[in-house]
Amino acid sequence: MLLLMSASFSYGQEKAKIKGLSFVGSSTPIDKKDVNPIVAINANWVTLMPYGFIGANGKVSFNSEWQWWGEKVEGIEKTVELCKAAGLKIMLKPQIWMRNEYTGNFKLSTEKEWGIFEQSYEDFISAILAVAIEHDVELFCIGTEWREFVKARPPFWNNLISETKKKYTGELTYAANWDDYAAVPFWKEMDLIGLNGYFPISISEKPKLKELLIGWEVHRKVLQEFSKKNDRKIVFTEIGYRSMEGSTIKPWEHNTRSKYSEEIQHFAYKALFDVLWKEDWFEGLFIWKWYHNHEGQGGKGDIDFTPQNKTAEKTIRSYWSN
C-alpha cells in the first residue's frame, strides 16, 4: 500500500511540459495587456532575452542607455513581474548579438584577449543572474550558441557553472545549436539539455505534412538516444519556422526571402508536435518568436518567424490546449 501511495504521489507531481514563447524585448515599457495574448495561446512559460554586445575593446557591453527597454535590467525585471502575475514561468536567456557574425564562430587569438572578454561575459551573466535570484526565476540559461568558445575554454565554462550553482537554486541549461550539441562537454552539470532546434526537416520548398513528419522522425531517434546517454531531458530553447516557402530546409536562416506561406509554417509546427510532444524525454520548447502589441504583429504577408495572427498561432493553441 505504501508503494502504491508513493507512486501515485510521484505521478501527481509530474512536471507539465514547457509550452514556451520567446518574448522579444520591447523598445518601450509594456503592461499586462501585452502578456494576455501569451496566456490566450495556452503558454505556461516565456523566455526573456537580455542582450549584450561585443565592443571594439573586446568587452561585452550591456544594460546601456541606448538599448531597448525590454533588453535592459529595468525592462527585464518589469516583464518578469508582469509574466509571473499572469501565472507564467520564466527562463532568462542572456545572449550576445554580433553584427554580421555567428556567435558559434567566435574566437580570439591571445590569452590576454580571452581574459578581457571572459571577465566581461561573466559580469554580464552575473548581472542577469542577480535578476533571476531576486525574482525567483525558474530556469537560467548560461549561454547561447558558443560552439568555438565552449571548445576552446573548458576551464572558464566549468568555473562559470560552479559559481552560478553557488548562488542560484533554480534549474540551469545552456542553449546549444542544433548542429553542435553533441560536442558540449558539460551536459551532466545542467538540469536540462538545451537545443536551438532548427533542424532541417525537408528538402522541398513546398513540403507536405508527410515529408515533415519523416524529417522529424529521423531527428527524434537521435535525440532520444542522446537524452538517454546523458540522463537529461531535452528542451528546445528556441524553435521556429518562418511563414514562407523553403523555411523547413534551413530553418535557421533569417535573411532570405521567398513566397509567403502560412500553410508551410502550420505544417512545420504540426509535424513537430505530432512527432515529439508526447515523448517522455522531451521537456518542451520555446517558440521563436513572440512580440508585444499582439494585434499589430505577424499576419498575412509577414514572412517572419512569429506565428502571431497566422494559422500557426491556432495550431499551437490547439496543441497546448490540454
DSSP secondary structure string, 167-226? Answer: H--SEEEEEEETTTGGG-TTGGGSSSEEEE------S-SS--HHHHHHHHHHHHHHHHHH
**Higher local confidence (pLDDT), 1 or 94:** 94
Taking residue 295's Cβ as centre, other Cβ atoms within 10 Å add up to: 10
What's the pLDDT score for residue 6?
A: 32
On the question of pLDDT at 53 being above 80, the answer is yes
- Residues 211-220: tens digit of each pLDDT: 999 999 999 9
What's the pLDDT score for residue 14?
A: 59
On the question of pLDDT at 256 being above 50, the answer is yes
Q: Where are the alpha helices (DSSP H) in 13-135?
A: 36-40, 73-85, 111-134
For residue 161 the three cell numbers come to: 557553472
For residue 269 the three cell numbers come to: 509546427
- Residues 142-167: tens digit of each pLDDT: 999 999 999 999 999 999 999 999 99
Percent of the chain predicted with pLDDT > 70: 96
Count of all residues that appear for the chain in the document: 322
237 contacts 47 by C-beta, under 8 angstroms: yes
Q: How many helices (H) and strands (E) does the chain have?
A: 9, 11
What's the pLDDT score for residue 9?
A: 30
On the question of pLDDT at 13 being above 90, the answer is no
- Residues 58-82: tens digit of each pLDDT: 999 999 999 999 999 999 999 999 9
> What is the distance between the alpha carbons of residues 119 and 230, in angstroms, rounded to a whole number?
30
Q: Which of 200, 317, 300 minimizes the C-alpha distance to 244? A: 300
On the question of pLDDT at 2 being above 90, the answer is no
> What is the distance between the alpha carbons of residues 46 and 311, in angstroms, rounded to a whole number?
21
What's the pLDDT score for residue 99?
A: 84
Percent of the chain predicted with pLDDT > 90: 93
**Band of pLDDT at residue 10, cut at 50, 70 and 90:** very low
> What is the distance between the alpha carbons of residues 293 and 37, in angstroms, rounded to a whole number?
9
> What is the distance between the alpha carbons of residues 208 and 263, in angstroms, rounded to a whole number?
9
